[in-house]
Structure 1
Amino acid sequence: MTGAASRRTVLTAALAAAAGAGGVPSAAPEAAAAARHVDNRFWATHADWSGGSTAGTRVVAGARPGVVIGSPVRRTTYRDPHTGRTSAWECASWTSAPHRPGVPASEIIVSWNAHTPAGTWLQADVSGTYSDGTAMPWYIMGRWASGEADIRRTSVDGQSDGKTSVSTDTLSVNSPASGLRIASYRLRLTLYRTPGTTRTPTVWRVGAMSSAVPDRFTVPPSTPGLVRELIVPRYSQNTHLGQYPEYDNGGEAWCSPTSSQMIIEYWGRRPTAKDLAWVDPDFADPQVCQAARYTFDHQYEGCGNWPFNAAYAATYRGLNGVVTRLQSLTELESLVRAGIPVITSQSFLKQELTGAGYGTAGHLMTAIGFTAGGDVIANDPASPSNPAVRRVYRRREWENIWLRSKRHNAGGKVVSGTGGVCYLYWPESPTAAQRSALAALGIH
């Protein structure tokens, strides 16, 4: 569980036409498209990058095409609010072509995959147009580097134009009930390096999940369609209680990086002994400490920044990571069927999830399979030990706490739910089944 989760505001749309939709029905493609409330658009191919506009960047080919600094267009300074240090940088930028989601959006979450060697970092921004024809300003969705020597990775608070606002990692329409939506958007990458060097970040994936999740306390039940369990490493966040409290109070709040580490290792990657040399040798599972440190958002003061977790996963050789939403447990089943576990975000009261033994304002766990009865098999890091991480949760309870967009908290107040938010990590060379399962969600 993450103690910082209660600071996140996730605003959701009230779309009467979609209020009863629990997923895409098995009907004609036109009907399925009309029922969707999630749109994924990621730029990752040479054609994608070449279709954007450059200002000092250039497109590089290869197995993982991307953008790098070519000839910087300007010099600037950046005062890091978390260190107080002001440094000079030269920079270049890439801007995507406009994208118009299939459904006008009430929320956008941007994620990216990149390599940032020492002396470099990047900033990801989003802008667009509203459904009333007016323009949205450019919003900063993250300042990021894989390391810590140059800047502290950070979200940026206080961004709003009165119509939309940024809360940590999510751009949301302030009043969805007004009917205002985000009609189109563009993404911009600004790449920074130490002046006079030839270093450069390399970004091989950037994109966004835009959505207009129905405003609902309950979701329609799904029909079980899969019996399978993926063998995923098990790590407990609670075994790290009290360790490195500078990273969001230690293991008590490390559900997100602990879940990320489980899936990174599922795909056969892990930090090296050199990477882990900073961790107290008396601590078990030091790779969880590593994940917490390198997903930590110094503004949010937590390890639960969704895009920062996806970006961290993608620092490992040959891995991709994105943040998206799924619309149903059926979609999750299709991913598990293809061998892709799913890190899910949910919030619930203790009595809403039988067997959990806790309630939470925000928690990440990993869905790894389904029983013969259709119940969800999850690696839940909020467990007392690594062997206890594997849990079986009742299907109907689990899908509702994950997919709903509104709920009642312990005080009876109406608050937001995550509406199916999840992280997806997969290898650079997926199997045909994995590629197909991702493509069905609009992820390529």
Structure 2
Amino acid sequence: MIESLLVANRGEIARRIIRTGRRLGIRTIAVHSEADGALPFVTEADEAVCVGPANPAQSYRNVEAILEAARSTGAQAIHPGYGFLSENADFARTVERSGLIWVGPGADAITAMGDKINARNLMAAAGVPVAPGTTEPAADLDAAVAAAAEIGYPVMVKAAAGGGGMGMGVAADEAALRTEYDKVRAFAERMFGDGSVLIERYFPRVRHVEVQILGLADGRVVALGERECSVQRRNQKLVEESPSPAVSPELRERFLAAAVRAGEAVNYRNAGTVECLLDPSTQEFFFLEMNTRLQVEHPVTEYVYGVDLVEEQLRVAAGLAPTFDPDALAPRGHAIELRINAEDPKRFLPGPGAITTWNEPAGAGVRVDSGYVAGNTVTPFYDSLMAKLIVSGDTREEAVERARAAVAQFEIAGPKCNLPFFAELLENPEFLSGDYDTGIVSRMR
């Protein structure tokens, strides 16, 4: 097993990785910005190195500073968490060329899946269903208009290099397409340094379902069930659950088989997620993207399958066999994750601030992965995620009941907080029925 691990991230995911490292007897090293020096992940690591000012480009995305921290502390491996440098193929290559172990998929797989158009084409060739769309970037507005006319409106206009729900727009007709194309292209150039645009069929009523895969050290790819991620605002997830209430045993078999084919197509190693859109009226699903990293919502899979995905990542990176039998994977029970963000619960606008009260819920089937404690400050420099509230039960109904109780017990004061939204959601008849889609939040508002 790896003996020393640098965690190239912050907040709850850094704390989460450090927790598993400590359990496995691994020496952990945190890197942090000047703004994050007082956060729990810094003090909980065995060592900590400040890598720059608050601006992520000068700290958490500062490759040289992170590699120097690894060298100076004698780290053997680097775990990137999610976000920041986690899906940066150049960083992965640089880490390995420096003689360090990269806890993630190979750089070639990251590159292959990083471009949405290339990923779509690869998946189609591997027999994974893809939605009607362009097989090459829409070079200009005229090309986008021609593509949309062939695909049929409405269409989704997407940044080819984007991800995480960013760089997307919906066009119901040509006039809207002309506006959205320019908007998405400008955003993509600014955020990703690549203005390539993909035109794809838009499904007005759709569910967002993803499959957790793990590429093992022996070359096999296994699927650890699906997660339902349809509770979203601005195309970004708020709630995830596993198993999906929309997926029948027969559909699950098709989902998992397609996800394994997707991983095998790029010789995938380590943890990854194959995201899909599910048309509930036809039970057809289409490949959306592959996230070549650990997902924010990985804990619901951990509960249902009884595994520690961070430990499995470390074992794959070290060339070790998994802790479970890949031929005997079976889900048990139900789990739900709520993303506790520092944001207004009505309009979902960020609301950072100093935390004056922080009391976490506890009890059977309740887990909190948090990045903060009372006295910390949620700054405006990073994502608004403060914690993840994860609940589990033998049934979906039991998990929902535990979620209600946990939300009521969770006390946060200081920054704005979306806990009141979850209290509302957990009483919403559409959500409780399990028959919901990605439009549920807009219908609640």
Q: Which has the higher contact order (CA 8 A, sep 6+)?
A: 1
Higher strand share: 1
TM-score scaled by length of structure 1:
0.28
TM-score scaled by length of structure 2:
0.28
Higher helix share: 2
